[in-house]
């Protein structure tokens, strides 16, 4: 009789210990899922950079920094009186760019340099005014008579310097696969916004090579992407039968979409009048190449590329009609980010179960 308790205890413990361990494991998985949900929900608004934002001012007004009240765009008189040029920081075919100062704040003053391109300059100003959103650099003022535009200053500059910025000790913590993927998502969000803008479907034409694309966008101090140069944004209007052509010269190279290249072979000299027009799907063709730059060569970036392989292959379809929309690309990027963060948060959980 005295051996019976010993027998019962020996049978009971092997059953009890695994059941407790399993319960703890399941509780841990549920907790991790809850934390992951809260984490993703916390920055979900930054993933797509939605257009609507309570911080945006009404049309014709701006605010930035810690200022709470909106101010009207600066006029010619105000720019001439209150803005002081500091130094030239860039010059392109259309305009020269000056780092300047307004009320002890750094700003950017852009001025037309080639009078023959004043229509491009004014088109860029028109787009800048009409497209103010989370995706577009903030307009502070302008003077059409003097061909001058005043915008917000972003010290990290254009995306061309992204890799150099990420090697600065201050920003090395940002040099991760998920932060780089979020920058790629910001870029695709800009393309999505342009393709469904308040003005209609706009095509980003200043994008004939990777370096040119990167020069059109700014990197903000909180690591988001803004489009900065809107001089070449023609409108697609399918219902009216209106397609576009990016310039009047022959485009070459694998970076531009197939429909942007001269279709009649080397033996036929290029003629702009014979070049067929195209639509916004040229922007989709370029997304994989730009995203590849964003992802870089950090730990985990090749895994991201593997998960994006199918959507990027679809972007490279020769027939533009078979390519996905920018929204479809963005949706896929979001799913991949969520999946990979979940896997990183719970490594080996499936094997444990």
Residue 3 clears pLDDT 80, i.e. is over it: no
Give yes or no for a contact between 72 and 60, defined as CB atoms under 8 angstroms apart.
Answer: yes
- Are residues 117 and 228 located together in one domain of the fold? no
- Are residues 162 and 89 located together in one domain of the fold? no
- Are residues 290 and 227 located together in one domain of the fold? yes
CATH number, residue 217? 1.10.510.10
Confidence of residue 332 (pLDDT cuts 50, 70, 90): very high
61: helix, strand or coil: strand
pTM here is: 0.84
- Are residues 300 and 191 located together in one domain of the fold? yes
- Are residues 169 and 282 located together in one domain of the fold? yes
Q: Residue 110: exposed, middle, or buried by beta-carbon count in 10 A (0-12, 13-18, 19+)?
A: buried
Mean pLDDT over each residue of the chain, to the nearest integer: 88
Distance CA 347, CA 345 (A): 6
Give yes or no for a contact between 244 and 234, defined as CB atoms under 8 angstroms apart.
Answer: yes
pLDDT given at position 103: 92
105-134 confidence digits (pLDDT tens):
999 999 999 889 999 999 999 999 999 999
251-291 confidence digits (pLDDT tens):
999 999 999 999 999 999 999 999 999 999 999 999 999 99
- Are residues 103 and 234 located together in one domain of the fold? no
As a residue count, the chain comes to 353
Sign of the torsion angle spanned by Cα atoms 173, 134, 191, 90: negative
Average pLDDT over residues 322-346: 93
CATH number, residue 141? 3.30.200.20
127 in any annotated domain = yes
> In sequence order, what are the residues at sequence separation of 6 or more whose Cβ sits closer than 8 angstroms to the Cβ of residue 96?
88, 90, 110, 111, 113
Sign of the torsion angle spanned by Cα atoms 123, 129, 133, 135: positive
- Are residues 120 and 202 located together in one domain of the fold? no
pLDDT given at position 35: 57
Cβ neighbours, 10 Å, residue 219: 24
pLDDT given at position 23: 62
- Are residues 322 and 241 located together in one domain of the fold? yes
Quote the percentage of the chain above a pLDDT of 90. Answer: 75
- Are residues 175 and 127 located together in one domain of the fold? no
Distance CA 208, CA 282 (A): 10
Cβ neighbours, 10 Å, residue 15: 9
38 in any annotated domain = no
Q: What is the DSSP letter of 205?
A: -
197-247 confidence digits (pLDDT tens):
999 999 999 999 999 999 999 999 999 999 999 999 999 998 888 999 999
Distance CA 184, CA 187 (A): 5
Distance CA 11, CA 21 (A): 17
Quote the percentage of the chain above a pLDDT of 70. Answer: 82
Q: Which residues on adjacent β-strands are paired with residue 151?
A: 108, 139
Give the domain range for residue 99: 71-153
């Amino acid at each position: 009789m005295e051996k019976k308790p010993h027998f019962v205890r020996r049978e009971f413990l092997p059953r009890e210990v695994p059941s407790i361990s399993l319960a703890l494991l399941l509780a841990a998985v549920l907790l991790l899922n809850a934390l992951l949900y809260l984490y993703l929900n916390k920055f979900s608004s930054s993933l797509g950079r939605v257009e609507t934002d309570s911080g945006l001012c009404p049309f014709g007004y701006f605010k930035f920094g810690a200022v709470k009240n909106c101010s009207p765009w600066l006029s010619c008189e105000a720019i001439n009186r209150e803005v002081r040029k500091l130094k030239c920081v860039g010059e392109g075919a259309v305009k020269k760019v000056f780092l300047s100062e307004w009320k002890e704040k750094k700003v950017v003053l852009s001025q037309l340099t080639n009078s023959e391109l004043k229509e491009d300059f004014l088109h860029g100003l028109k787009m800048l005014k009409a497209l103010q959103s989370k995706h577009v650099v903030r307009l502070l003022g302008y003077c059409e008579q003097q061909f001058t535009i005043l915008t917000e200053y972003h010290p990290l500059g254009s995306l061309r310097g992204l890799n150099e910025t990420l090697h600065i000790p201050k920003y090395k913590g940002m040099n991760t696969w998920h932060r780089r993927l979020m920058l790629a998502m910001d870029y695709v969000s800009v393309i999505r916004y342009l393709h469904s803008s308040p003005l209609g479907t706009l095509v980003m034409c200043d994008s004939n090579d990777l370096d040119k694309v990167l020069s059109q966008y700014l990197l903000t101090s909180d690591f988001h992407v803004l489009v900065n140069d809107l001089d070449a944004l023609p409108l697609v209007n399918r219902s009216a039968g209106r397609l576009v052509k990016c310039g009047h010269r022959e485009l070459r190279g694998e970076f531009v979409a197939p429909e942007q290249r001269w279709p009649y072979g080397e033996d036929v000299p290029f003629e702009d009048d014979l070049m067929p027009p195209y639509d916004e799907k040229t922007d989709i063709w370029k997304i994989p190449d730009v995203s590849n730059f964003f992802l870089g060569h950090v730990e985990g970036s090749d895994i991201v590329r593997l998960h994006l392989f199918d959507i990027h292959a679809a972007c490279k379809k020769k027939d533009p009609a078979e390519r996905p929309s920018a929204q479809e690309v963005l949706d896929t990027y979001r799913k991949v980010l969520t999946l990979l963060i979940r896997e990183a948060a719970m490594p080996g959980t499936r094997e444990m179960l």
